[in-house]
Structures are given as C-alpha cells and as structure tokens.
Amino acid sequence: MVLRFCLFLFTCTTVAFPASAEQYLVKSQAEYFAAEKKLRAGDKIILANGIWRDFEIKFSGQGTKSKPITLMAQDVGRVIISGQSNLRIGGKHMLVAGLVFKNGYSPTGEVISFRRSKQDLASFSRVTEVVIDHFNKPDRFESDYWVGMYGRHNRFDHNHLVGKSNKGVTFAVRLDSQESQDNRHRIDHNYFGPRPVLGSNGGETLRIGTSKYSMFNSNTVVENNYFDRCDGEVEIISSKSGGNIYRGNVFYESSGTLTLRHGDGNLVENNIFFGNAKDHTGGIRVINQDQTIRNNYMEGLRGTGFSSALTVMNGVPNSPVNRYVQVNRAIIENNSVVDSARITFNAGADKERSAPPTNSRFAQNLLSGSGDGTFIKIQDDVSGISFVDNIITAGTVEKPVAGIPKQKLVLKRAENGLLYPVGSAIGASRDLRPVTREQVGVSWYPKSPSGDRFGIGQSIAVDPGEDSLTDAFAAAKEGDRLVLSAGEYVVNKILPLDKAVSIEGPAEETAKITFARPSFLEIQEGGSLRLVNIAIDGVLAPDSVGNAVIRTTSFPMQSNFLIHLDGVSVINLDVNKSFHVIALGKSSFADRISIKNSNFSNISGSVLQAAAETEDYGQYNAEYIDVSNSNFKDIGGAAFNIYRGGRDESTFGPHFSLTGSNFWNVGKGGNNANGASMVLHGVQHSDISDNNFLDNAPIKIVHTVGRPQTRISGNKSSKTPAPILEELNYQGAHRAILSANQFEGAAKP
Ligand code: CA
C-alpha cells in the first residue's frame, strides 16, 4: 500500500494532469476554505503536514471520472486532524486520502460524512487510506457514527478504523432518502480494528440500512475487510436492507455475528470466521427472505443461541418491519463449520416468533462440533428446510434429521490455513484465501497488538514508608510493576491511575497499604490495575460519603479497564456505613474484574459495586466478574451488587462467576437495602458453584430479558436462606438451574 500511495503522490506532483488543474498546498484553515471554494475537476488540495485542530472540513465539488477532485495529505500519516473535527463530502468524483483523525472527536453526529448537507450528497466519491483512531466523544453514551455513507456509487477502501468506544455504529450506510437507495457502494479492504464491548445496544461495527428503510435495496458490496476483535455488541454487522453482498471478509476473534436483521436477497459468501475459542464468537444469523449463505468457513466459534456459527431464526407471522420476517427461500450451502459450539435452527421460537423457515435448502455443509455434546439445536419445526448431503463429523443433532448423517471424517489443515476433510469435497471450497491483516487498511499506521498490557514495562522496587508508593506511582509508566517489600506504606493522596500499573507485594511476608483519603486509588481514562499480594487496611480513611478503596473517576470514561486482585486482603473499611472495596461509577465500564486468592473482612459496604447504570437502558458497568478461592467475612452490604436493567437484548454480559469461596456474615448490615449477600440483576451468565455460606443474607438473582443462564450448584450453607429468584419478563418458573446445593429450605420460585 505504501507503493500504491507513493505512485499516487507521484502522479499528482507531475504534469500528468492537464494544465488547467490546480494544486493547492494549504497551511491553514483559511487557506483551505479559500481553495475549496474554487475547486474544479482535476484540482487537488494538499493539507500541509502537521496537526490541524478543530477543523470541520467541508469538501464538495464536481469532479469527473477521469479528473476527480482530491483532498490529500502532504505525506501520508503526517497530517493529523485532532480536536473537534470532522469531514463532510459532497458533490461528485471526490477523492480523500491519507488523513489521520486522532486525539479528538466530531462535534456533529459523524466523523466522516458522505454528504455535505442534506441536499448535497456525495456520489462516485472515494475515501481511501484514512485512519480514525479512538476519535470518541467524551461521554460513552453520546451517540455518533465514525462514517456515515450517503448518496450512490461511493467507495470506502483501505482505511483503518480502531477503538470506537462510544455509542453508535462505527460505520453506517444510510438509505434515508431516495438518492441513497440502490446505492452500489463498495466497502473493501478496510481494517476494522478492535471495538471494545460497549455494554449497551449501539456497538455494531457496520450497519447497512435501518428497519424503516429495510424494504429498499441497498446493493452495497462489503468485501475483503478484516474485522479484528469487533466486540461492541451482539451484531458485528447489522444488515438492514436488501441486495447486499458480504464477500471474502475475515472476522477474527469477534464476539457477535453478521446478522441479516432486515431486508431480503442478501448474499453472504466466502467469508472466514476465526473464533479461537473466545466467548460469544459467532457466524451468520439468518432472518427474512431469499438470503444466500454459501462457501463460508467458520472455525473455533463459541457462540450459542442467536450467536451460533449459523443461526436460522423463526419469524413472526405477518411481521411488522421492525420484528422478525419469516425465513423463506434461504439457501445455505457448502459452508464449513468446524470446532464450533453451536448451530441453531428455529432460534427464538416462542409465541410471537412462531413461523418456522419455509422453502429453504441446507446442503453440502461440513458440520463439526467442538465436543461430543449437542452441536445442532432444533427449536421448532424444520420441515420447511430440505437437508441434502450434509455431514456432521463431531457433536450431535438435538433431533434426528434426515440429510445430516453422522460420518467420521479426518480434517487436515491445508496451505490456506483452513481445515478440509480428507477424501471429501464437502463444505467450503479449497480455493478460499482469507484476506490478511497486511492486505487491509494502511501500511503506514500500526495495527492493534494483542496481548497483556500489564508487565510490558519496568519492575520498580518501592521501599516502605510514608508517600514512597505515591512517588513511585507518579513516576510509573504504562505496563510498569511497582514491587513492594514487606512493611507499611502510607498513601496521603488518591492515586490517579491513567495507565496499566501492577502493584505487587511479597508472597510470604506482608506489604500493607493504608490511605488517608476517601480512596486509595482512582481509575481514570486509560487506567487498569493489577494488585498482587497486597494488604490494604482502611483504618486511616476519613469518614466521608462514598468511600471506596478503588473508585472510578466522576468524569465519563471512554476506555474500558481491568481490575485484577490476586492474593489481596482488605480489612477495616468501617469508618462509615457503606465503605466499598471497588465502586464503579456511571459511564465507566470494566472489561473484567477478577478476584482470586483474596480475603475481605470487616467491611461496611460491598466488595464490588457495579450498579451505577440505573436508567434501565440495558447499560451496565462490567462485562466479566470472576471471583474464586476467596474469603468474605463480616461484610455489611451485598458482597457483589451488579445491575443491568431494561429490556434491551444487544449485549452478551454481564457475566458473573463465583467459585471455591467462603462467606461468613455477609449482607446483614443495617444499611443494606437489598437485604441480600449478593445481588445479580439482569446478569446474563451466572455461575455460582462450590462455595460455602455460613450465616449470610440470601443470594438474590433477578432475570430480565433474553436467555439468562444461571447455574447454582454444589454450594453448602448453614443459617443462610435459599436464593431469592425472580423473573421480570418471563412467564413461568425461574429458569436458574440449581443442583446439589444445601440451602436452608427449598429455593423460592
Ligand atoms: Ca444492535
């Protein structure tokens, strides 16, 4: 791509264009707008290298096919658009190349818009080799798009979009006027870099259309893009229009699915899904009419339910446009699904979604589950699907289906990196060539590394004493480990954490931290924390409202964070009535909070408060909460208070796991309004197993929408009532699975 772009630069600095074409090298916004007014076919505006702050670029004109009008960087990667900036493109045959949007956000609803105004839509225009990097609005729940595509015949290719963490789809193709329908856009060879879990609806990476215009064809081609860890929400791509082609894309470790949510006649072919056994990695979800899904390859996917490798939904009879149109005339053939958790037919079947697929064909698919258990679920009538010449080689079908016979096949990895059956042509074709990270985006801007942020820096020894930890912390850099020796550390300031830092004590002796402010540490933008072998004593903390050892900043946070506690003991948080260990505030979101081998005692509040999103919009504070091999004694509040309210079904989390831990006298403080030892409200996956409960308030679990999965097993208790289980939306007995527990009295329904 360097080469391609250099060639491009070369042509524009030579006389390859007619003498009438102007070239404007502009160094200020005033110069830019003066030049922009004069643009004619073949002209170029070159932005001088440097940082352009608060630059709302409008770029419109009448280019021609052979003489586009160009906006480009003097040198690729050296023109940075920052602050409150955006780009609006209008006119015809406009070309934008080589800009980097970072360190800022758009003051409007889009960073790049393919329309200059409602009247001036772009057509035959192209954006290429542009970077948008963490260009997020400060408030994570204030919505925008990074790219809004309007008009017709536009192309967006070889761009690099990474780190959208506020609400709103990364890339939206809009069909909201006739001039934007049947648009023939092309979206290709882009690097869609990691999109972190949003913790709400509105975290899609690509959406084409909306339910309102879903009866119109978009006819957009999405091909050879790389979706790298696009985890925003359950839909990676939400296709809400007709006639689109999704071809040759790679979905790498992305939680969610390519969903044919609304609209008919879409083609999904030659796509590759690599899950690498990550949670909720899915494939393709089929709804509506005349969808063709062929020659796709899925490996290592772990999604189930609506996020299965292949999900064929039940529809709603005479469905309104915003619900689920019955699957009709679907063709699903020559796909390979290997080492994957689930394929689901008739997904979502219920009283409303009672229309099973009709006139459909499922043929010559290679089907191989990740284990011996149920791989193919059939949740209603499949007689409207003809099953022809499929083979299942591992796992079982829930109900016998003629046309999916079990047959042992040996799978062997071919040179293209994909698994194929030895001696059989079933499944995806052998000529698939997954697009690579190197073939997408730009070559001159680094793609996101994977791996652990902790431990990439230096190890720094810190001696005991007053303020020694404070000083070392102030000097710490990203990934540093502060290594404490045995002794006492007094901290007189709240430590502001805006990077990944580990604080580690010795395994055999004790490094004890006391702190003289309402918190020991505050997680701010960019912060993540790892505490290992540390003792924390709240004895010096003042009596102020909202004390917490670890809290989040009161400002909205854009970046998700991690908190890992291993071998940590926390005592004496009792100076007031609700002194917490960890308190997550509004608009803060943890990717994971893990607590293991740790001890908590004499605490008036909670160990974890993750219940700040109380508006019932389906928002919450933490995706994964894992607790193991830990002890909780004399905790006045609910040890864990986790809240996700509302009826939205767009998220996988929260997830909660609690194993091998002991609870004594938890949740019985006079100030605990919940009256529970832990409250899991709207948690989607809960596993509470092999714990001991002695003299505690009950566990309270409230199921809201969707398919919440709760397992409570192998727990022992004394003087602890059975769990309080509630269903808010589901009619019938509580769906939690309880087994081999000893609680006092039966579980309440
Ligand atoms: Ca969604």
List the structure tokens of 627.
């607790």
* Alpha carbon of 590 to ligand 1 centroid (Å): 20
* Alpha carbon of 648 to ligand 1 centroid (Å): 9
* Alpha carbon of 747 to ligand 1 centroid (Å): 35
* Alpha carbon of 350 to ligand 1 centroid (Å): 21
Per the DSSP assignment, residues forming a β-bridge with 97 are 72, 128
What pLDDT band is residue 563 in, cutting at 50, 70 and 90? very high
* Alpha carbon of 188 to ligand 1 centroid (Å): 22
Is residue 507 within 8 A of residue 539, CB to CB? The reply is: no
* Alpha carbon of 377 to ligand 1 centroid (Å): 24
- Comparing C-alpha atoms, which of 533, 520, 610 is closest to residue 566? 533
Only one residue has tokens 């003809």, namely 386
Q: At residue 8, does pLDDT exceed 50?
A: no
d(CA 408, CA 367): 11
Distances (CA, A) of 463 to 456, 493, 516, 517: 22, 17, 19, 21
In the chain, the percentage of residues whose pLDDT exceeds 90 is 91
Name the residue type at position 703: H
* Alpha carbon of 284 to ligand 1 centroid (Å): 15
* Alpha carbon of 286 to ligand 1 centroid (Å): 15
d(CA 204, CA 285): 14
* Alpha carbon of 230 to ligand 1 centroid (Å): 13
* Alpha carbon of 524 to ligand 1 centroid (Å): 28
- Comparing C-alpha atoms, which of 92, 139, 84, 142 is closest to residue 120? 92
* Alpha carbon of 146 to ligand 1 centroid (Å): 16
- Comparing C-alpha atoms, which of 652, 626, 684, 650 is closest to residue 280? 652
Residue 12 — φ and ψ, nearest 5°?
Answer: -80, -15
* Alpha carbon of 183 to ligand 1 centroid (Å): 23
Distances (CA, A) of 555 to 140, 588, 661: 11, 9, 34
pTM: predicted TM-score of the whole model, two decimal places: 0.91
Question: What is the model's pLDDT at position 361?
Answer: 98
* Alpha carbon of 234 to ligand 1 centroid (Å): 7
* Alpha carbon of 229 to ligand 1 centroid (Å): 17
- Comparing C-alpha atoms, which of 511, 501, 506 is closest to residue 474? 501
What pLDDT band is residue 747 in, cutting at 50, 70 and 90? very low
Q: How far apart are the first and last CA of the chain?
A: 62
Name the residue type at position 450: S
The full DSSP string for 324-336 is -PPPBS-EEES-E
* Alpha carbon of 238 to ligand 1 centroid (Å): 7
- Comparing C-alpha atoms, which of 255, 238, 245 is closest to residue 217? 245
* Alpha carbon of 253 to ligand 1 centroid (Å): 18
List the structure tokens of 509.
């002796």
List the structure tokens of 722.
């059975």
* Alpha carbon of 283 to ligand 1 centroid (Å): 15
* Alpha carbon of 556 to ligand 1 centroid (Å): 22
* Alpha carbon of 408 to ligand 1 centroid (Å): 38
Tell me how crowded residue 295 is: count the other CB atoms within 10 A of its CB. 20
* Alpha carbon of 173 to ligand 1 centroid (Å): 15
* Alpha carbon of 428 to ligand 1 centroid (Å): 29
Question: What is the model's pLDDT at position 19?
Answer: 52
Only one residue has tokens 């908190």, namely 563
Q: At residue 3, does pLDDT exceed 60?
A: no
SS3 state at 458: coil
SS3 state at 217: strand
* Alpha carbon of 539 to ligand 1 centroid (Å): 46
List the structure tokens of 529.
């924390």
Distances (CA, A) of 148 to 97, 104, 190, 206, 332: 17, 18, 15, 10, 31
Question: What is the model's pLDDT at position 544?
Answer: 87
Question: What is the model's pLDDT at position 706?
Answer: 78
List the structure tokens of 221.
């081609």
* Alpha carbon of 706 to ligand 1 centroid (Å): 14
Q: At residue 304, does pLDDT exceed 90?
A: yes
Question: 206-221 pLDDT, tens per residue?
Answer: 999 999 999 999 999 9
Q: At residue 17, does pLDDT exceed 70?
A: no
* Alpha carbon of 233 to ligand 1 centroid (Å): 7
* Alpha carbon of 354 to ligand 1 centroid (Å): 22
Mean pLDDT over 100-123 rounds to 98
Beta strands in 166-265 (DSSP E): 171-173, 186-188, 191-192, 206-209, 221-223, 226-228, 235-240, 245-247, 250-252, 256-262
* Alpha carbon of 201 to ligand 1 centroid (Å): 5
List the structure tokens of 643.
């809240």
* Alpha carbon of 163 to ligand 1 centroid (Å): 18
* Alpha carbon of 195 to ligand 1 centroid (Å): 14
Residue 438 — φ and ψ, nearest 5°?
Answer: -70, -25
Question: What is the model's pLDDT at position 296?
Answer: 98
* Alpha carbon of 202 to ligand 1 centroid (Å): 5
d(CA 95, CA 65): 11
* Alpha carbon of 168 to ligand 1 centroid (Å): 9
* Alpha carbon of 709 to ligand 1 centroid (Å): 21
* Alpha carbon of 247 to ligand 1 centroid (Å): 21
* Alpha carbon of 282 to ligand 1 centroid (Å): 15
Q: How many CA atoms lie within 13 A of 375 on its CB side?
A: 23
The full DSSP string for 402-423 is TT--B----EEE-TTS-EEETT
Name the residue type at position 323: R
* Alpha carbon of 345 to ligand 1 centroid (Å): 21
Q: At residue 496, does pLDDT exceed 90?
A: yes
* Alpha carbon of 6 to ligand 1 centroid (Å): 39
Question: What is the model's pLDDT at position 254?
Answer: 98
What pLDDT band is residue 745 in, cutting at 50, 70 and 90? low
Average pLDDT for the chain: 95
List the structure tokens of 280.
């909720």
* Alpha carbon of 259 to ligand 1 centroid (Å): 10
d(CA 372, CA 657): 25
- Comparing C-alpha atoms, which of 89, 224, 94, 239 is closest to residue 159? 224
SS3 state at 215: coil
Is residue 489 within 8 A of residue 516, CB to CB? The reply is: no
* Alpha carbon of 204 to ligand 1 centroid (Å): 6
* Alpha carbon of 632 to ligand 1 centroid (Å): 38
* Alpha carbon of 285 to ligand 1 centroid (Å): 13
Per the DSSP assignment, residues forming a β-bridge with 377 are 344
d(CA 330, CA 268): 11
* Alpha carbon of 258 to ligand 1 centroid (Å): 11
* Alpha carbon of 481 to ligand 1 centroid (Å): 39
In the chain, the percentage of residues whose pLDDT exceeds 70 is 97
List the structure tokens of 408.
């042992």
Classify the phi-psi angles of 706: left when phi > 0, otherwise alpha if psi is within -120 to 50, otherwise beta: left
Name the residue type at position 664: W
Centroid of chain to Cα 437 = 19
d(CA 326, CA 409): 34
- Comparing C-alpha atoms, which of 230, 145, 236 is closest to residue 196? 230
* Alpha carbon of 134 to ligand 1 centroid (Å): 20
